[in-house]
Structure 1
């Protein structure tokens, strides 16, 4: 079959090639509705497919954005990625999503692969294990935005939430409801959010004059959480409340609770830091520290676009507030 060209579309629509080019690039400033309709009809009738490679060479852009997620299993990561993809769709761009599995080596390979494919920029949920590579991108002024995790010493646009303050508020809520033996379970303290959430937990206890108990603070691999909970709930003074620092920790906690037939909130109040599906319709409903995932993804996309268009001046840190959504699982002590 003969390849349909822009010239064929122009001839069919009765306009110039430059007018068709303006239409394809959505430059409608001086284009009437009738002209737009004629070009659109000609494209549909001829089955014209724009040559994106030629467009990329001419404009020095591929209209592709790379997203490297630290761990796609986290609900909030999926929600943020969806927001970025929506933004790309609205702005005639394409998103390529990669999952690093919290593996710095895998993250490095994805960064190199996406840059080799000449994506216009990257949105990264950084593992924190490639500081040298992050710094190189910063020095090259390559368009990149960090999401969810702040990397000390690297000056790149970063979008995070108020992890410490939000956790402090949640623990204070439990204290105000009469709880004193409050536990927290987190994955290993290898990332900025996990460290900040533990810091917020400690801050709330200290502000209320409650001594820290190392037996109630566990930062371990997800696979080891059940074992640590066994030890924790074998203590003479068991926790009466528990904060799960993310969704994967929460699922392990809930599995343990079900296995031990612990009643929520009568025997144990529970709060989870993350966006949990069906939290508002489970039995009992679950108190969550909700992150504004969609807004985070949209802001990250806007920041990256600003860099791609060379409108950025200096890197900035954007911190979104979380919302403590109080439900049945965090009720006060009987």
Structure 2
């Protein structure tokens, strides 16, 4: 009589853990699609019976899960950043055989704490919230009890999983890049009140200065900078001495600082180096192209969906904050400081 094939047999055959085999056969997150397919093929070859899993998969196909993607009108308008995350969310949800419902939250709904209409009109299995709306509004959504994952936002007052950029380490890397080029007078430009991400990038800036024993100059820290030409000119006019290095919290400000310096007669990078964050279109079309910190936005979206699927199966587990790495993209806007 042939021995009954077990999950451990499949694991031993593929030299992977039994837990990975279980995740692959149950359709749960935690393994790559390549591993999932390999496990399923091996199970078929070895004659492993997983009818319960197949029945569940058939049930899921008949009753696919509904996922809500919610964001403010402002967040949805930032197509170059959040648009890419949205597309990767849509792709990942579709590949997992689930339905995606989208709703933007206007100012009135936010102020009156009106829950999205899709929560009333459809039965949602999970919710993704893109960026910030308001703490009270997000808390009300979390209070529905529907598993929720925040994308690019977190707060000590919000008990939900978050997918975040490692902003501190990213900013640290950017400022260290400027320091290693000999810059010690380095400006910080960004409005930390707009987003926790920008506050964290200020903290990364300060960490880099501390690591290299550079005393922060309060005159060079513009933590309430407005992202427009007038605001940047106001910064330039307020300076008695000009920094040789500039770190901005996003590419929009990097673009404005670069063009503003050039309008004031400074050459970039000969007279001043500029490093920004996000690796968006503005950093790539600027002249010169701007050194920046790259974020993998496709991975951002897919990781958020993966975490939501895990959360829907593990509702009682502690809240997770997942930090995604950044990568320095060196371009023509940074160089060695002129002596």
Do they fold alike, i.e. is TM over 0.5?
Answer: yes
Equivalent pairs, count: 276
Mark the runs of 5 or more structure 2 residues left unpaired by the alignment: 1-39, 41-58
Matched, 1:299 2:303: yes
Q: Quick check: which has more Rg, 1 or 2?
A: 1
Q: Which residue of 2 aligns with 1:145?
A: 149
The answer to whether residue 88 in structure 2 is matched with residue 83 in structure 1 is: yes
Which is further off, 242-251 or 89-98? 89-98
CA contact (8 A) 2:254 2:283 kept: no
Question: What is the TM-score with the length of structure 1 in the denominator?
Answer: 0.72
Equivalent residue number for residue 71 of structure 2: 68
What residue is the counterpart of 2:135 in the other structure?
A: 130
Report deviation, 1:71.
1.9
**Offset from partner CA, 1:225-245 (integer Å, 9 cap, x none):** 633544435533101111110
For 1:110 and 1:265, locate their aligned partners in 2 and report how far apart those are by CA, in whole Å: 49
- Give the Cα–Cα distance (whole angstroms) in 2 for the partners of residues 107 and 275 of structure 1: 33
Q: How far 1:202 moved relative to its partner?
A: 1.2
Deviation at 1:171, TM superposition (A): 0.7
SS at match of 1:329: coil
Task: Check 1:228–1:281 CA distance in 2 against 1; reply closer, same or farther (3 A cut).
Answer: closer
Shift of 1:120: 3.3
Q: How do 1:184-195 and structure 2 match up within 5 A?
A: 184-195=188-199
**Aligned pairs (5 A) from 1:100-111:** 100=105, 105-106=109-110, 111=115
The separation in 2 between residues aligned to 1:120 and 1:287, in whole angstroms, is 41
Question: Are 2:98 and 1:93 equivalent residues in the alignment?
Answer: yes
**Residue pairs, 1:214-293, within 5 angstroms:** 214-220=218-224, 222-223=226-227, 226-232=230-236, 235-277=239-281, 279=283, 283-293=287-297
> 1:110 & 1:254 partners in 2: Cα distance?
42
Q: 2:36: which partner in 1?
A: none
Give, in whole Å, the separation in 2 of the partners of 1:147 and 1:107: 21
Aligned to 1:65, what secondary structure does the other structure show? Answer: strand
When residues 282 and 323 of structure 1 are mapped into structure 2, their CA distance, relative to the original with a 3 A threshold, is same
Say yes or no: does 1:319 pair with 2:290: no
Alpha-carbon distance change, 323 to 255 in structure 1, aligned in 2, over 3 angstroms:
same
Q: Deviations over 1:250-294 (max 9, x none)?
A: 343244234334321011111111122274575423211111211
Deviation at 1:221, TM superposition (A): 5.5
SS in structure 2 of the partner of residue 264 of structure 1: coil
8 Å contact kept, 2:71–2:133: no
> Aligned partners of 2:235, 2:250: CA distance in 1, in Å?
21
C-alpha offsets along residues 130-188 of structure 1, whole Å, 9 cap, x if unaligned? 33x44444454312110111111322111001111111121111111111111111124
SS of 1:71 mapped into structure 2: helix
Q: Is 1:173 equivalent to 2:177 in the alignment?
A: yes
TM-align CA RMSD: 3.1
Secondary structure of 1:85's aligned partner: helix
1:208-230 deviations in whole A, cap 9, x for unaligned? 22222222111236356633544
**Corresponding position of 1:156:** 160
Tell me the distance in 1 between the aligned counterparts of 2:270 and 2:143. Answer: 55
Does the C-alpha gap of structure 1 residues 203 and 243 become closer, same or farther in structure 2, counting only changes over 3 Å? Answer: same
1 CA distance for matches of 2:114 and 2:97? 23
- The answer to whether the Cα contact below 8 Å between 1:104 and 1:128 also exists between their aligned partners in 2 is no
Specify whether residues 188 and 311 from structure 1 end up closer, same or farther in structure 2 by C-alpha distance, changes over 3 A only: closer
